[in-house]
């Protein structure tokens, strides 16, 4: 019986060792997903920990709930990868299928993998103030409903009230030669691929590259690789 209790304690501590920064107050609108997702954390020691995760746009970190508190997934140097499991409906197969989103730690940050090798996403956000509308008595602030996020067993958590709209922004980066290169930083891109910055900016403007779209980010990297080979 004593050995059984010790085993349970070790399993609990195994997850605690990957956490830090307890959040007593959290703005639920800063979450990437509408609710916490079933996820698998693959540790470098071979262990797999299953936990419900979400992504905090403000802190750029995966978080989970334990003892009715928000905790940050830390100890990234011990983590190999994280699989966030979701569900979507396949119209062709006419059935619900499980989708897998992979995150990996790179340079002390957690990035989402993409279909393009070396291209990753770090999520950020922007805030749109609540609209102001005018009535017969003058200007007044329109009401904005609170986040509909619901988390089982977390009713006792405090949340910041936020009447602004939070917009998710995917920031794409390309990992090359142990360096993470931000797609939105044209100077970084030009230096990394040894391409003239003016030429790069010209291509982005002429072809209307949207650096916040995956297909455009891939197209830009392909163009840079081609130009780099020509030099």
- The pTM (predicted TM-score) of the whole model is 0.73
What are the pLDDT digits (tens) for 7-19? 233 333 345 545 5
Give Rg (Cα) of the chain: 22
Q: Across residues 172-190, what is the average pLDDT? A: 94
What are the pLDDT digits (tens) for 24-61? 556 677 889 888 899 999 999 999 999 999 999 988 89
Decide if pLDDT at 2 tops 70: no
Query: How does residue 158 score in pLDDT terms, banded at 50, 70 and 90?
Result: very low
List Cα–Cα distances, 10 to 6, 7, 177, in angstroms: 6, 5, 38
Decide if pLDDT at 104 tops 90: yes
Q: Compute, in degrees rounded to 10, the torsion defined by CA atoms 181, 185, 186, 189.
A: 0
Q: Across residues 174-199, what is the average pLDDT? A: 94
Distance separating alpha carbons of residues 200 and 221, to the nearest angstrom: 11
Distance separating alpha carbons of residues 52 and 36, to the nearest angstrom: 5
Query: How does residue 3 score in pLDDT terms, banded at 50, 70 and 90?
Result: very low
List Cα–Cα distances, 229 to 195, 200, 225, in angstroms: 10, 15, 6
What are the pLDDT digits (tens) for 77-95? 999 999 998 876 777 778 8
What are the pLDDT digits (tens) for 108-142? 899 999 999 999 999 999 887 755 343 433 333 33
Distance separating alpha carbons of residues 124 and 60, to the nearest angstrom: 7
């Amino acid at each position: 019986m004593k050995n059984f209790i010790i085993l349970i304690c070790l399993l609990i501590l195994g997850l605690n060792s990957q956490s830090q920064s307890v959040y007593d107050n959290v703005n639920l609108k800063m979450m990437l997903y509408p609710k916490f997702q079933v996820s698998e954390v693959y540790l470098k020691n071979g262990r797999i920990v299953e936990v419900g995760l979400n992504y905090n746009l403000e802190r750029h970190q995966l978080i989970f709930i334990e003892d009715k508190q928000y905790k940050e997934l830390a100890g990234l140097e011990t983590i190999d990868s994280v699989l966030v499991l979701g569900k979507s409906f396949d119209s062709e197969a006419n059935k619900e299928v499980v989708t897998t989103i992979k995150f990996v730690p790179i340079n002390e940050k957690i990035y989402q993998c993409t279909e393009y090798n070396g291209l990753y996403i770090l999520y950020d956000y922007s805030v749109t103030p609540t609209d102001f509308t005018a009535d017969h008595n003058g200007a007044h602030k329109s009401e904005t409903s609170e986040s509909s996020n619901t988390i089982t067993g977390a009713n006792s958590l405090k949340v910041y009230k936020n009447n602004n709209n939070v917009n998710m922004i995917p920031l794409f980066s390309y990992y090359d030669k142990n360096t993470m290169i931000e797609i939105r930083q044209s100077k970084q891109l030009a230096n990394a691929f040894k391409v003239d910055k003016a030429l790069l900016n010209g291509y982005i403007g002429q072809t209307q590259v949207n650096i916040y779209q995956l297909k455009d980010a891939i197209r830009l990297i392909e163009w840079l690789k081609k130009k780099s080979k020509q030099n």
